[in-house]
Amino acid sequence: MPTPFQLDILTPEHSFFSGKAEGVVVITPDGEIGVQAHHAPLVTPVEIGTIRLLVDGQWKEAFISEGFMEVQHDRTVIFTQACEWPENIDVLRAEATMQRSQEQLRQQLSIREHKTSQIALARAMARLRVTREQNLHLK
């Protein structure tokens, strides 16, 4: 079993995870990065998508919004705008957001509105993906 290390996942609203983990996999602009204990110090952006944590030998998945990962010698901190376990995701809301932002993207909007809709769409899709994967595991 891999050595556990201190992992903290923080959002401006709450502390999503704080404790020992054996591994964590996030999506960065260059693809997925996995971190285990004694990883070299690293700072990298985290993209909207799924985060996987290995806690007590069990892989867990959660939704993560855009943010950062800071790997230090003895601990790893991930800051993000939002992070949710699949069971806490409001599927109906995510679906509604997805449809609304797709609709907005079809219209001719200002660059800023376009960007906002794009991010909203990516978040909604990532949320839905996490819940769908969770349902597959249960079946």
Partner 1 sequence: MPKANEIKHRIGAVEETRKITNAMQLVATARAKKVIPKMEYNRNFMTQVQSVMKDLLLSPHLADHPYLTWKSHQRRTYIVISADKGMAGSYNSAVLNFAWREISAKVHCREDMHLISVGVMGDSFFRARGIVPDHSFGGATQDPSLYNARQLALEIMEYYDHKETDQVFIIFTPYQNGAAGKPTIHRLLPIRISDFTDIEAADTPHEIMYHPAEKWVFNLLVPQFVVGYIFGAMMHSYASEHTARMTAMQSATRNADEMLERLHLDYNLARQAAVTQEIAEISSALFV
Is 137 one of the binding residues for partner 1 (CB under 8 A)?
Answer: no
Nearer to partner 1, 85 or 134 (CB): 85
Task: Assign 107 to helix, strand or coil.
Answer: coil
Contact call for residue 81 and partner 1 (CB under 8 A)? yes
* Residue 99 CA from chain centroid, whole number: 21
> What residues from 2 to 61 belong to the interface with partner 1 (CB under 8 A)?
8, 10-15, 28-30, 33, 40-45
Of the candidates 72, 79, 74, the one whose C-alpha atom is nearest the C-alpha of residue 26 is 79
Answer for which of 77, 105, 122, 128 binds partner 1 (CB under 8 A) is: 77
> Where do the H-state alpha helices sit in 33-110?
91-106
**Residue 102 near partner 1 by CB under 8 A:** no
What strands, in cross-sheet order, belong to the sheet with 49-55? 31-35, 23-28, 49-55, 58-64, 83-84
- Contact assessment for residue 21 and residue 4, using Cβ atoms and an 8 Å cutoff: yes
In the chain, the amino acid numbered 65 is S
CB closer to partner 1, 44 vs 104: 44
Interaction of residue 91 with partner 1, rule CB under 8 A: no
# residues near partner 1 by CB under 8 A: 30
Contact footprint for partner 1 (CB under 8 A)? 8, 10-15, 28-30, 33, 40-45, 66-68, 70, 72-73, 77, 79, 81-82, 112, 115-116
